[in-house]
């Protein structure tokens, strides 16, 4: 019904799924086999195919990217009273898990990639922290800075090379929130060929409905360190030390992906490279039609997940596009300004404010036609020439 509604009203959505591959037949197989819950062939197959795609030994499929981040913080040993450095320009799901484990976030600014500004991170560490007994300590709070969550925003990639150098020098864990960046990889330098999510201690993907591939809900965790994945899989299935006799020596979670979701995910994974081609083509098509979009880094192969157009009249443009049956949205409200986090430490935040005031995300679905791109471009030009 939803896709018919799009056609009937000529409505152009921001980002909707594209389920035209083997998703239906795989899901039907799972239903016919009556393996629809957290066990079954498709979970194992999906994990294996995902691991092969991003070139890691193993992965753990879970219920959401948020669940993946929660499990990652636990696996990295983040404890109550610890601190975790996070970006302010991101979706709030990247930060809330810090509170789930009883730790507190410290908010960092972005650079022109929209990802965390590593120069500001370095200045914060050097001027506000000290290393004591092999731990990074926040001088003001006296708390251990246990980890940094870096988000690869909109499929672009943060300066992970600098972050990894800082993490080795200053003894903190790196969790890559690659929920928007499945398929993006570094194309030159020491990490050449490495996919977003596979460079830090742990990486997390999301398969929410608007992501480049979807399982409806769902996420996955990857790591170059197999023991982290073993821990995460154990915790995600209620931490059963002995599954026959229901022995549980730790607090576990019901965070495992279902076989039905994995069946859909497998069909999506088969199309991922094709989806990236479409995203890339439409991104350049907008540019050819005179719509100047925020660039992606030159030294990566991005997945071009979301397109960012800058307008000094952000709200008026969104309203104008809405009136013309085109869905768009502003970037997220900065998290250090949100009610649950307004008392938290934040460091030299300026560029994030500029981008928050000007970014408009415009339609970028993989089922966006050339005609759709033309229509959106025409409407934006019409608005700018008023």
Q: Which of 251, 269, 287 is the last residue of a domain?
A: 269
**Is the domain of 257 the same as that of 346?**
no
CA distances from 85 to 1, 76, 338 (A): 43, 14, 16
pLDDT tens sequence across 148-202: 999 999 999 999 999 999 999 999 999 999 999 999 999 999 999 999 999 999 9
**Is the domain of 160 the same as that of 203?**
yes
Q: If pLDDT is split at 50, 70 and 90, which confidence band does 4 have?
A: very low
Q: Which of 4-18, 230-244, 248-262, 332-346 has the lowest mean pLDDT?
A: 4-18
What's this model's pTM, rounded to 2 decimal places?
0.96
pLDDT tens sequence across 32-56: 999 898 888 999 999 999 999 999 9
List the domain range (segments joined by +) for residue 166.
23-269
Do residues 184 and 301 make contact, with C-beta atoms less than 8 angstroms apart?
A: yes
User: What is residue 9's predicted lDDT score, i.e. its pLDDT?
Assistant: 61
Mean pLDDT of 319-325: 98
**Is the domain of 34 the same as that of 121?**
yes
**Is the domain of 75 the same as that of 173?**
yes
**Is the domain of 161 the same as that of 111?**
yes
Sequence-distant (≥ 6) Cβ neighbours of residue 298 within 8 angstroms: none
Do residues 238 and 252 make contact, with C-beta atoms less than 8 angstroms apart?
A: yes
Residue closest to 371 by CA, chosen among 282, 275, 290: 282
**How far is the C-alpha of 119 from the C-alpha of 205, rounded, in Å?**
26
Residue 361 DSSP symbol: E
Relative to beta strand 104-108, strand 346-347 is parallel
Q: For residue 8, is pLDDT > 50? A: no
**Is the domain of 87 the same as that of 229?**
yes
Q: Which of 209, 243, 269 is the last residue of a domain?
A: 269
**Is the domain of 98 the same as that of 192?**
yes
**Is the domain of 127 the same as that of 261?**
yes
**Is the domain of 349 the same as that of 263?**
no
**Is the domain of 172 the same as that of 109?**
yes
**Is the domain of 229 the same as that of 310?**
no
Q: For residue 256, is pLDDT > 70? A: yes
The CATH number of whichever domain residue 369 belongs to comes to 3.90.1150.10
The number of distinct structural domains making up the chain is 2
**Is the domain of 182 the same as that of 220?**
yes
Instruction: Please give the share of the chain, as a percent, with pLDDT higher than 90.
Output: 96
What is the sign, positive or negative, of the torsion defined by CA atoms of 255, 260, 265, 270? positive
């Amino acid at each position: 019904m939803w896709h018919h509604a799009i056609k009937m009203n000529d409505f152009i959505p921001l980002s909707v799924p594209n389920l035209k591959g083997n998703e239906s037949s795989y899901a039907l197989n799972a239903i016919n086999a009556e393996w629809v819950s957290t066990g079954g062939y498709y979970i194992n197959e999906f994990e294996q195919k995902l691991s092969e795609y991003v070139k890691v030994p193993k992965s753990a499929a879970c219920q959401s990217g948020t669940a993946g981040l929660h499990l990652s913080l636990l696996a990295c040993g983040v404890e109550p009273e610890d601190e975790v450095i996070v970006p302010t320009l991101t979706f709030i799901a990247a930060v809330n898990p810090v509170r789930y484990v009883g730790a507190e976030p410290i908010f960092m600014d972005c650079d022109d990639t929209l990802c965390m500004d590593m120069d500001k991170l370095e200045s914060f560490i050097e001027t506000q922290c000290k290393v004591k007994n092999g731990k990074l300590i926040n001088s003001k709070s006296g708390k251990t800075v246990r980890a940094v969550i870096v988000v690869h925003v909109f499929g672009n990639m943060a300066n992970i090379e600098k972050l990894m150098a800082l993490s080795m020098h200053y003894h903190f864990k790196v969790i890559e929130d690659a929920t928007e960046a499945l398929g993006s990889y570094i194309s030159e330098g020491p990490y050449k060929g490495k996919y977003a999510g596979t460079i830090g201690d742990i990486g997390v993907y999301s398969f929410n409905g608007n992501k480049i591939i979807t399982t409806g809900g769902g996420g996955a965790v990857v790591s170059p360190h197999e023991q982290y994945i073993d821990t995460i899989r154990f915790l995600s299935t209620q931490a059963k030390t002995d599954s026959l006799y229901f022995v549980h020596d730790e607090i576990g979670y019901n965070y495992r992906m279902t076989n039905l979701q994995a069946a859909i995910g497998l069909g999506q994974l088969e199309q991922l490279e094709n989806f990236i081609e479409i995203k890339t083509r439409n991104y350049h098509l907008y540019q050819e039609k005179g719509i100047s979009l925020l660039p992606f880094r030159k030294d990566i192969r991005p997945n071009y997940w979301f397109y960012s157009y800058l307008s000094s009249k952000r709200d008026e443009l969104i309203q104008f596009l809405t009136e013309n049956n085109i869905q768009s949205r502003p970037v997220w409200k900065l998290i250090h300004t949100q009610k649950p986090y307004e008392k938290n430490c934040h460091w030299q935040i300026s560029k994030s404010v500029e981008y928050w005031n000007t970014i408009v995300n415009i339609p970028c679905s993989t089922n966006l036609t050339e005609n759709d791109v033309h229509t959106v471009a025409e409407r934006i030009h019409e608005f700018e020439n008023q």
